[in-house]
Structure 1
């Protein structure tokens, strides 16, 4: 009986040590899982820093994030994020996985560069910004389309927009947006983001690129 107790005690200690190790390594494990998800979909990603507050708090913070284009779009960097901070209930993050509509109490995102790519066949890696964030339907006017998520407080920065035309390099553009700390409260539908989109549009003077970026939003 003493041997059994000693064995059980050692096993308990082992589980505690393992649990502490997993807790300390949770950020690296989460980083590995996120990158694996992208690679399963044919893309690549790099995450410089990732900090998950669970179980002490309900925040996620990341820095130096790069998401790469699919090979058919050249495989170049698509999105570079210098700073990302999300505050929400962790059950809401599971809603993303379940393709439900999550609510984020606070989102702070600093985009260094987004690269909009158009192939020789005219296909783009992004249909438009409105299509990326909202579900449009015949039941709603475009501006009233519900977003795929809701945000209590959004703090948004965007340094540079890049347009790459794989068919004609002469059509490619680099646009300095220099939007810093733009704040939007209670974001639920597309029209809530309209002031932010308007601010971006004032920086994009080439109408062809503006139409590619926003689709039919400004013609609505």
Structure 2
């Protein structure tokens, strides 16, 4: 994880002549790395008893790797989220048009990375965090960003066989729609048509609304 940490540090590149390009390359590189090395399960924190227990060297190395992986992945997602926040702030200020355009292209790469992680690692840690970041962007005025996020949500619904990720996403979408008083892009609602719903239990609802005799 040492090399990953060093690479992530390059997201803080401050030289204005290369900062945007370097950060784009690092974002995509880290995204591909995490997609490759993340296990096919969610890593849980060790209990105090587990930490105190003696284990084989191989087990200890695995634990250290998993702990480092979760830590670096968390920091990476926080870096991506902060970039989006900075972009939104620049959108509100609209200062220095040329600089704003560069930052918008950076934000678009940022969103693409999050969308790919949303689809590639639905089983892994912090998946709900990615959903919370991306769902509001489904309704973003920037069409390219909105389309990427809506497409990613649609694909998530289509490929989600267990339903857990879909439920989490639908809850966030529902909260977004209500918070905006239902004034959202039609595309946001159309993504829900991709949900893998075969049956809906309406019996209880019907009974609850039926007039009493």
Q: TM-score range by the shorter chain?
A: 0.3 to 0.5
TM-score between the two structures when normalised by the length of structure 1? 0.35
TM-score between the two structures when normalised by the length of structure 2? 0.36
**Greater relative contact order, per chain length (Cα 8 Å cut-off, separation 6+):** 2
More helix by share: 2
